[in-house]
Amino acid sequence: MKRICFIGDSHLACINKAWDAGQGDATFFALPGKGIARLEVRDGALASGNPDVARYLARVSGGLERIDASYDAYGLHALHLEIATALGLVRDLRKAGTVSLARFAAAPDYRAALRDAIENSLAVTTLRKLRRITHVPVAVSPAPMPDTLFAALRVRLAQLGAAAPLASLFAEECSLACWSLDATFVPQPPETLAADGLATKAEYVKDAVRFSQEPRKEDIVHMNAQYGAAVVAAMMPALL
């Protein structure tokens, strides 16, 4: 049975919740926000000298404070690799008058900005560190975006027939960034996407799960175990 290591942020909780031991022996490492950026390559592993970081890793992983090279495959989830970045760039460049809403996908300025954002995302920078300690299969999946974000912009993009090109361009640039590091980009499962192909259906936010046990009135950012199961199913072919 293969040993799989999952690395992520708070979004990784839905995969952890959905994981079935029959799929393999999985260990989960997560830090909130951009905490994974605090890990560095140390003695053949990704680790931190900060005791608070080490304690959080150990709490999520079941006692392990460092991510070593002993696993058969690695799955990176979320880590600020998200379609929201692509939408934010469209909004910002449109306001600056650099690109039009209907033709942004063909604009060199937009593609360059998107590529730069992806290559400097926490997911890809973590992948670079991981490649310094191991060359086994790695799959990378993006963070889901709730249906409440960029609602007006997404409606306009859909009206202009520009929503699908944006999703395709994002997936293409993510795939290229991962391919350059001998990893596989796994797009968000299509069955979880809203009608415009950009955000996530509201049903996957209900009963959202997180690693933190702190009470929260309403969580519209994280996803549930049903979403986690869909991501696992999409990622497994690249990990086996």
Question: Does the residue 59 lie in any domain?
Answer: yes
Question: The domain spanning residue 63 has which CATH number?
Answer: 3.40.50
pLDDT, tens digit, 9 for 90 and up, residues 179-218: 999 999 999 999 999 999 999 999 999 999 988 766 566 7
Name which of 228, 230, 186, 231 is nearest 209 in CA terms.
228
Question: Does the residue 102 lie in any domain?
Answer: no
Nearby residues of 193 by Cβ (< 8 Å), 6 or more positions away: 199, 200, 201
Name which of 72, 185, 67 is nearest 123 in CA terms.
185
Are 206 and 224 a contacting pair, CB within 8 Å?
Answer: yes
Question: Does the residue 90 lie in any domain?
Answer: no
Tally of domains in the chain: 1
CA pair distance 33, 103, nearest whole angstrom: 33
Give pTM, 2 decimals: 0.95
Question: Does the residue 21 lie in any domain?
Answer: yes
pLDDT, tens digit, 9 for 90 and up, residues 68-91: 999 999 999 999 999 999 999 999
What's the domain range around 71?
3-82+117-146+168-239
